[in-house]
Structure formats: structure tokens, C-alpha cells
Amino acid sequence: MEGGRTLLLASFIFKENKEGYLKYLNSRFNIPESKIFIFESDIDTTRYIVTFKYKTQGRININKLFSNTIPLHKKGSTLYTINALNRLIEEDNDLEPGNINHKAYKVDWDRYKDSCILFRDDELVIGNLSRVFS
């Protein structure tokens, strides 16, 4: 897709739905299993975090195409959302939320190796992350 952009997406699926979801991604969006990564996290032990890249032209409604899915970013072995990263920076640097230049602060990514950093219900949530192979 010329001019498009690639999003890293994470779907939170119940573990028993893994095979069906992988087939859905392949048949509907032509995403091969070799390009799909599955993780477990102690944030929610009943679900897998399924990550994959999706190429798009313009704006899309992610939840219309993929239920329980969010855009995500990756740094080394850490998965995170931008809102969670901003809250992490605020908490790590004892900053009051508000008009902050978050890019001016560095994150010690080694502290968050193999972690998933999310912002849920107005709260920073950090969980351990491990890849599922099968």
C-alpha cells in the first residue's frame, strides 16, 4: 500500500479462542501466523495478547475490524501504549499530570524488560510478559 502506514496492534483474546482468531487474521486480512506474536501476561491470565502489524490507508476504526484491540508500541521486549508511557514518565519523575514535554524525559527501558505497560481505567498497569510458542 503506497502512502499507507503500518500499525502494531494488540488484541486481547480469551485463550480458548486462539486458533479461531489466528485463522480470522489470516483469512480476512492475509496476516500469516509467522507474523503474529502471542504473549501471556499476569495483567490478565485468562487472555492472550496477540500482536500483529496491519497496513492501512488513512484512518480506521480498529475496534470495528478487531474486537478488544489497541494500537501498541514496542521498545526491545517491552510493549506499551503512548498514554501508559506518558503516565510512567510522570510517575517515575514525580511529575503532576498536565502540560508536560514527555519527550524531554528518558525511560530506563531495562527496568521494564519483558513487560507490558498499559493505561487502564485511569491507572498505570505494568505486567510481566512472556512469549507463547505453539
Q: What are phi and psi of 6, to 5 degrees?
A: -110, 130
SS3 29: helix
This prediction has a pTM of 0.89
Instruction: Read off the C-alpha cell for 39.
Output: 504473549
pLDDT digits (tens, 9 = 90+) for 68-93: 999 999 999 999 999 999 999 999 99
Contacts of 89 (CB under 8 A, 6+ apart): 95, 100, 102, 105, 107
pLDDT digits (tens, 9 = 90+) for 89-110: 999 999 988 888 888 999 999 9
What is the maximum alpha-carbon separation in the chain?
A: 47
SS3 34: helix
